[in-house]
Amino acid sequence: MSGSRGRRLLLVHAHPDDETITTGGTIARYLAEGAEVTVLTCTLGEAGEVMIPAPRLLVADEADQLGGYRYGELRGALAALSPAGGAELRPRFLGGMGRWRDSGMAGTPAAHHPRAFASQDHRGREPGGPVAALAGVIAEVRPHVVITYDTVGGYGHPDHIAAHQVTMAAVAAAADPGYAVAADLGEVWHVPKVYWTVSGEGQITDAVLRLRDDEYELPPGWRAPELGVLPVHSDDEVTTLIDVSGVSAEKIAALRAHETQLQVAPSGTEFALTNGIAQPILTEEAYILVAGEPGELDDRGLERDLFAGLQ
Ligand SMILES: [Zn+2]
């Protein structure tokens, strides 16, 4: 299991819970294999809803204390993804904890807050802005692999789109010799491979058909998604599938740590957000390689390791 030692993975996520929902298995697997993993979260998720009774009044419209609470959930999730007996992965936040704020769903007043992440400059390199902050992290961590969302942020949330834009701009900035000098980054770092976390059409269609089967029992109050509702990329766009079946228990425990945001079915095979729509907990996490060269491919033409092809 020493294959990933010395290998560094940086994941950029918008809110606490996104790291586990989209990439939790990948985090747990590479931690178990000895890779250095950095999970960088851009906001504290202050604008989220709350699914359980006790912390319900922490939401933004009431006590506005949800961000600190979700820090605790994120910490619990990363601990659950960390190998038993090993070092516990701790959260990191872009610009420091609380620097930028959850912008809420598109069209909500949360976007007008002066610290709303989605309202910042996502491409400019001005000092103190999110691109400069992330370029600084890249220069420090020197990741071999960076993971972010696709151009629509997976499902269109303004903070997810912003995380995508900031990440792509910061990867370019960190590799720019002129910027590295101007921003005092030290040496230039050219990230060898950049991936977008996505869902493949085939894996989601199979899962949704299973959930929609009349015989399939979902927890009370949950419903199966309609076919075509969950965001996907076509299977020929997916370049890389990571088998996370060996860390399912860790991923499920990490999902359960985000208890204000989601519920996990007793079976451990689905979860649901506040909308009550069941979503599969996938045992393969899908990616699109958008920068860098693919490594070894399987007989379906897919990479099976994010670090494939790197020395
Ligand atoms: Zn999110």
pLDDT in tens, 62-121: 999 999 999 999 999 999 999 999 999 999 999 999 999 999 988 888 999 999 999 999
Report how far ligand 1's centroid is from the alpha carbon of 27 (Å): 17
pLDDT of residue 1: 38
pLDDT of residue 2: 43
Residue 174, in any domain of the structure: yes
pLDDT of residue 106: 85
CA-closest candidate to residue 222, choices 289, 302, 277, 154: 277
What number of CA atoms fall less than 13 Å from residue 117's CA on the CB side? 37
Residue 224, in any domain of the structure: no
Estimate the crossing angle of helix 248-257 against helix 66-81, to 10 degrees: 170
Residue 306, in any domain of the structure: no
CA-closest candidate to residue 274, choices 51, 41, 120: 51
8 Å CB contact between 223 and 278: yes
Residue 32, in any domain of the structure: yes
Residue 275, in any domain of the structure: no
* Domains identified in the chain, total number: 1
23: domain CATH number?
3.40.50.10320
Task: Name the β-bridge partners of 289.
Answer: 195
Task: Name the β-bridge partners of 197.
Answer: 287
Report how far ligand 1's centroid is from the alpha carbon of 143 (Å): 23
Handedness of CA 69, 75, 78, 84 (dihedral sign): negative
Report how far ligand 1's centroid is from the alpha carbon of 63 (Å): 21
pLDDT of residue 107: 86
Residue 140, in any domain of the structure: yes
Report how far ligand 1's centroid is from the alpha carbon of 15 (Å): 5
Report how far ligand 1's centroid is from the alpha carbon of 198 (Å): 14
Q: Residue for token digits 């599938």? A: 241
Within the chain, which residues score under 70 in pLDDT?
Answer: 1-5
Residue 257 belongs to domain spanning: 8-198+232-261+282-291
Residue 208, in any domain of the structure: no
Report how far ligand 1's centroid is from the alpha carbon of 30 (Å): 22
299 Cβ neighbours under 8 A, 6+ residues apart: none
pLDDT of residue 109: 87
Report how far ligand 1's centroid is from the alpha carbon of 14 (Å): 5
Report how far ligand 1's centroid is from the alpha carbon of 310 (Å): 30
Report how far ligand 1's centroid is from the alpha carbon of 17 (Å): 7
Q: How far apart are CA 146 and CA 142, in angstroms?
A: 10
Residue 123, in any domain of the structure: yes
Report how far ligand 1's centroid is from the alpha carbon of 300 (Å): 31
Report how far ligand 1's centroid is from the alpha carbon of 152 (Å): 12
pTM over 0.95: yes
